[in-house]
Amino acid sequence: MSADREIFRVVLLAGAAALFAACGGGDRQDAPAGEETAAGGTDAAAEAEDAAPPPAPASGDVAEGDWFYKESNGYPWAGYGPPRSEAFFVIACEDGRLSLQRAGGRDPAAGDERFTVRFKEGEEDIVMADAGTELPMMTVSLSPDARLAGMLLETRAPFAIEGGARALILPPDDSYRRVIRSCRGA
C-alpha cells in the first residue's frame, strides 16, 4: 500500500472512529466468532425465522448524516456521516474489489464478527473482520458482482447493517451506486 493511500486510510479511520465513539452507546453484545461463510443455524426456530420475509428497516431510524462521493488516489469511495465530519460507513472500490467499512470494532483477539445487511427485498449475511488498524474499524471485501452489491444497487428503501454495538440504518443513494458501478466497470 502506498504511503499516500495509507495516510488517507488513517485519516478516514481516525475521523470515523471519533464519530462512532461520540455517537455510540449502550452495552455491546458480540456474537460468537464463526466460520468465514455465513452458514445458517440448525435450530428450528432460526429456520422458521429465515422463511419469513425480513422486516423493512424503519425510515424514522435512519442514521443522521448524508452520503458523499470522493476519489482518493484514483479509487472511488462513498461515505456516510454527519455534515462536515468523517464517514462512519464507507463503500469503496480498490483494485477491482468492493470494500465495506464500518466504524467501530471489537477486540482483535475475538476474531471476525457476523453482520446482516437487511433490505426491504431481502437480506445478506457477511463476516467483517477487524481492519487491523489503530482505530476501531470492521471491514469486508466483496466482488463487485456479489449478490450484496446488486441489492445495494437495486434498493429504493433504507437498509440496515445489523451486528456490532448497534444497528446502522442508512438511506439508499446514488453516490455509493456510482462506486459499485465503477467497480463493475460500467
Q: Cell numbers at residue 51, please?
A: 422463511
The pTM (predicted TM-score) of the whole model is 0.68
How do strand 89-94 and strand 75-81 relate by DSSP bridges?
antiparallel
Q: Specify the CATH number for 3-26+41-183; select among 3.40.50, 2.60.40, 3.90.550, 3.30.470.
A: 2.60.40
Domains in the chain: boundaries? 3-26+41-183
Query: Could you report the per-residue pLDDT of 54-109, keeping only the tens digit for each?
Result: 455 544 478 999 999 999 999 999 999 988 888 899 999 999 999 999 988 765 55
Strands ordered across the beta sheet of 122-130: 66-72, 75-81, 89-94, 97-103, 137-142, 122-130, 113-119, 159-162, 168-170
- Cα dihedral value 44, 46, 52, 56, nearest 10: 170
